[in-house]
Structure 1
Amino acid sequence: MMEPQRRRHSVDETQDMEDMEIEMAELGLPSAANQHSTGIRVDMELRRRLERDLVLKNDSTSLKYKEAWFFIETSWMEEWMNFVLHDGPLPGPITNQSFYTPNHDFRKDLKVTKHYRCVNPRVYCIYAELYGTSGVLPIARYTLDIYATPILRDDVLEILKLPELSARVAVNEIRDKYEEWPEDEPETESWWYRCCCRCDRLPTVLGKIFGGPTYASVATDDQDKKKKKKRGKKKSKRSKDDETDSSDESDSDGEETGLLNARD
C-alpha cells in the first residue's frame, strides 16, 4: 500500500517543481550564470570591490516584515569570499546540491554555519543575478533551521518579487562600471558610398531610379466573364443599330411610293 502513495507523492512533487520553475522563469530569476559578453574588457579588481560593497550594503542579521531566510551552501559562500577577498576564481551557480541525498531528501546532519548560511531575500537575489541558480529552486524558511516548516510556493514568489527587481537594477549598475566595451572602429566610408556605390547594391539603386516597379496583371475568371459580357453588349448594340437602319430604309421607301401614287 505504501508504494502507490510514494509514487503519487513523487508525481505531485514533480508537478509542483515544474510549476514553480515556470513561475520563477516568469519572475525573472536567472538559472544560468551571468557571463560576460565576448570582447568586453572586465576590471576584475573593481568587480570584486563593487560586489563586496553591494552585498555588505544589503546584508542584515534580521528580517523585515514578511521576509524569510534563504539558504546557501557554506562551501559556495567560501568560494565567493575567496573571490572577492583573495583574488580567487569566480564561483559557479548556486546549486545547494550538498543538502540532498540521492533520493532528493534533505540530509539529516545539516547544521547552520557548518553546512549552510542564511541570507535575506535581497542578498539571495543579488547572488542569483550575478551567478545564476542552475534552475534550482530556492530554499526559504522563516527561521534559521533548514528542517523547519517549508514556506508555500506562492509566498516564496511574492517574497522574491521586489528584491529580484532591485537586484537586477543594482547588478546592471555595477556591471556598467567594471565592464568596458571596445571602441567602435572609425568609419572610412561615407553613408552615400555605402548606400549607392557598392557593387552589391548598385543594381538595386539604379533599378529604383530609372526603372521603377512593374506590375503584371493576372487574368482571372471574373475578368474573363466581364470581357464576355462587354462583347455580348457590343454585339447586341450592333444588331439593334442594324435593325433601326433597316427600319429607316423601309420607311423612306414607303414615303417615296406614297408620293408617287399621289402624283399619279
Structure 2
Amino acid sequence: MESITVQVLLDHLALPKAGNSANDYEDAAFPLDAPVTPVTRLRAAIADGATESSFAALWARLLVEAFVQKRLLVRSQRLLTQLAVLHQTWRQAVASKPLPWYAEEKLRDGAFCAFLGLELAEGRRGNTWQAWAVGDSCLLHVRGDTLLVAFPLTTAEAFNSRPLLIGSQVRFHAEAVGAMHRTHGAWQPGDRFFLLTDALAAWFLAAHAAGDNPTATLEGLLADRDTDASAAWLADTRRARHIRNDDTTLLRITLLGTPGDA
C-alpha cells in the first residue's frame, strides 16, 4: 500500500437554544481546528451539558479537552481515576463562585454531560477509527452520499428525555463508565465524520429514515455558519417542531483526499 498524505479539515457550528444567549450555551466541542496534518492519530470530542445540572458548560469543556489531550483514556483501567481528577478541577473552579442557597443545594449533585469521543488512526494496519459514547450525542460516518454508521443511537425513536450521562461527582462515575458504548471501523480519504448533540442527531435520523438528504443540510449549515442563515434554519425547524429546542452543536471532520488513494 503506497503511503499518502491525508489532510484534515474541521468545521463546527454552535448555537444556543432559542431565547438564550451565547453565554448560556452549555455544550462543548474540541478541537476546533486540526492539530495534525497528515492524520497520524487525531482525536475529537463533543459533550452536551444537561441544562438542569450545575456548571454543566465547564464539565463539558473539561471532558472534551481531556479526551483530546489524552488525559482521559477511555480504554484504560485508570479511567475512574482520571475522571476523579477532572472532578477535582471542576470542583475547585466552582468553589470560589458565590452562590445563593438553592444553587448550593443543586451543586451537591454537580454537572452532567453526554459525551462522544472519536479517534482516527493512520498506520500499517490501515486507516481505522474508534468511537466511545455515554448518552445521546451521536457520530455519523458518511462516505459520498451514504450514511455508513450512526452511533450510539440509530433511530430518532431511540432518544428519550433521561439518557444516562457522565456526572461530575465521583459517586456517578462508575455507572457512566459501565454504560460507555464503543464502536470502530475503517475510513477512506474523502470520508466525513459528523459529531452532533442530541437534538440535531434526532432530527438527522428522522429525516434520513424519511428518505430525505439530511447530510446536505448539515453541509449547508456549516457553509452558512458565519451568516444568519444557519440560525434562521434552526429557528424555523424548531418552530415547526421538527427539532427540539436545545443547545445545538455540530463538529465535522473531513478527510481531504480522493477515495481509493489509501
Give me the TM-score of the superposition, normalised by structure 2. Answer: 0.24
Which of the pair is proportionally richer in helix? 1
Which of the pair is proportionally richer in strand? 2
Whose radius of gyration is greater, 1 or 2?
Answer: 1
